[in-house]
Structure 1
Amino acid sequence: MKRASLITLSLIGSLSAAQSVWAVDYLLPAPGSRLIGQNQTYVVPGDGKNLEAIAQRFDTGILLLLEANNTVDPLLPTPGSELTIPSQMLLPDAPREGIVINLAELRLYYYPPGKNIVQVFPIGIGQQGRETPVMTTRIIQKIPNPTWTPTANIRARSLAQGIKLPAVIPAGPNNPLGRFALRLEQGGGEYLIHGTNARNSVGLRASSGCMRMRAADIQTLFSQASWGTRVQIVNEPIKFSVEPDGRRYVEVHQPLSQNDWEDPQTVPIAVTASFGRFADDAGSDGQGISSAITRRAGYPVQVNATMTPSMPATGIQSVRATPAPVTQAVGTLVTANSLVVQQQ
């Protein structure tokens, strides 16, 4: 699933209808808590729209929807079927400052200064062989109406596919950078957070290393993030939390594939020592954690060894269809069927 190609992108995009999107704001949780949001249930209407259209409706990514609904047809979900919208999540293990990007979940978190909220956006990231790197950096330039100068490597790859790119693509509706771009310091300014003219690539691994956002999302982020804003990019396929009320959660995403033959649903996941301690703690349900690792649903699962009335399971809100608006891995390895199997 984390190997989605431009061929998949084209198939999905050919069936999509135009939809408007918006920032999803969440109140920051109490100190010591990382849990935000609430999953939703969406009943698929008989409108012939595909999963990408639903992803855009809820401003999420298609891979996130496929993780949460692993038996659904991405091209034509069955009318009347119920989809889980993964709008509950754990905040990444990073300072709540500026921009935090978790590559494994293809999400960007923005913490507006002076506000008690976090804004969450789906993003597109680098393809295999052109991965977006893990790094801590900052915004060094804000570029409205950017032009695009393809690198020599990008031009060569495109030419090999029979596409001859011009030296410079001017600003406008056909510009691959969209209407707004934020340049990052690390990498000599090579990496950008930007819009895109291929809106269905958001939520997929489709770029040459930059991070793509839908038009309304990058406009929202661009209007708030300032020069010098801290940007931290992590790769956390497993997030976990012990909440202040004692509830324990684990959120598992399919790891980013490193080659074409890896199955991200079963490939071992490298984890940190802190997660090993969390899993081994007497308060954690080892079988529940193993099941979460096997399923890799992309949303938080409660894994308390013992449930009490003071630890209610998180509910799921029901949403009926209505007309849509126009780390570097360290520690141990985890497999789909076992917890700790090998030291790195």
Structure 2
Amino acid sequence: MSFKGILVGILVLALVGVGGFYGWKFKKQRAAEAAEAKLYQADAFRADEDYESAQRILHELIAELSALPRPKQAEALVMLAQVYEKQGKSEAVSIHERILADYPDTDAAASSLLHLARMKEEKSPKEAEQLYADLLSKRPDGAFAYAAQMGRNRILHRRGEIETVHANLLALLEKLGEPEDEQLNNVRLDAYDLLSQIHNVWLFSPEIDPLSENYVIQPGDVLEAIAKKYNTTAWYLMKVNGLRSAAIRPRMTIKVPQPGGVNIVVDKSDLRLYLFRNDGTFLKWYRCGVGRIDYKTKEGEYVIGTKEQNPTWVSPQDGRRYKPGDEGYALGEPGKTAYWMGLGLPTNPQARTGLGIHGTNEPETVGSKSSAGCIRLVHDDIAELFDLVPMYTKVTIRP
């Protein structure tokens, strides 16, 4: 064969090789794109709480896991483990263990360590503590560290170390502030949940706690004046001290909140009403409903200008007046006391803003954007809040 023929043969082989390489590369790229599309689809199903569909797609994806880049492989496994958890399936444990073995020193592994620890908190607290310690040794700072600290406090809470947990959580919240990072914000909400549990007991127990103090009744005292002095209500003082009426006598000792007062923050984005002390201490939160699209709840600063039980309600749609017991009365459930706290302006508390905090005849809508602009709570929550907050309490409504 001539030199020219050999050269042509080499060129042909080279072209075939290059073509094959690019063909392989193109095929691999298409496979990766298809796999990522499945990952996004599974995530969408998970977000919609369609866990069966998410699991089915993730199972298909795990069978072709090598098509994904390594970080996406770990993401797919984490997602599958979380779907299993939502379904209450024990397979979540083996997936988390696989992530720890195959993807060590990654965020996915840290996430799996966190999830494994949380799953063991109730039945195997010592194992959970060790997992949290392992996580803190690997990630001493950042969102995973805060989440591990939160887990440790849940374990301490179950052991009954309430005041230690209380102090820890207040310190944790002070460090966190109001984070924009989703993981850190989830830790903040977890801390709020646990503090709410603690404060629910303290607020309505006659025992003295870090948020309260004793007051000895003096000659001439009346309960309403004591309530005003301590920025609370006579209803609350009666409830917490087991008083059947507002009648009091000298030298009685009653429980009162520490002075300073409270304020309310309504967060429309997470549909929660938060109760804080005026020194910034978080007290508790309630699930709330806010205005729907055509009746948006207006953000801003307000004060409680009126407090009423069983008031007449005027429909914003047609101006019709409804009394308690009327069909269509919207401020409470049939047969139960209705509560209304009207919101005025800081400069004019009696101003008619059209906004208020109240109960509802549709308790299933609480936790959604469903009202005609006001903030709605379920019956037990509005009854409790009505007792806790006095007139002129500051109310902030946030986007």
State the TM-score bracket (shorter-chain normalisation): 0.3 to 0.5
Length-normalised TM-score, structure 1: 0.38
User: Which protein has the larger Cα radius of gyration, Structure 1 or Structure 2?
Assistant: 2
Higher relative contact order (CA 8 A, sep 6+): 1
Hey, which of these two has a bigger chunk of helix by percent? Answer: 2
**Structure ranking higher in strand proportion:** 1
Q: Structure 2 length as normaliser, TM-score?
A: 0.33
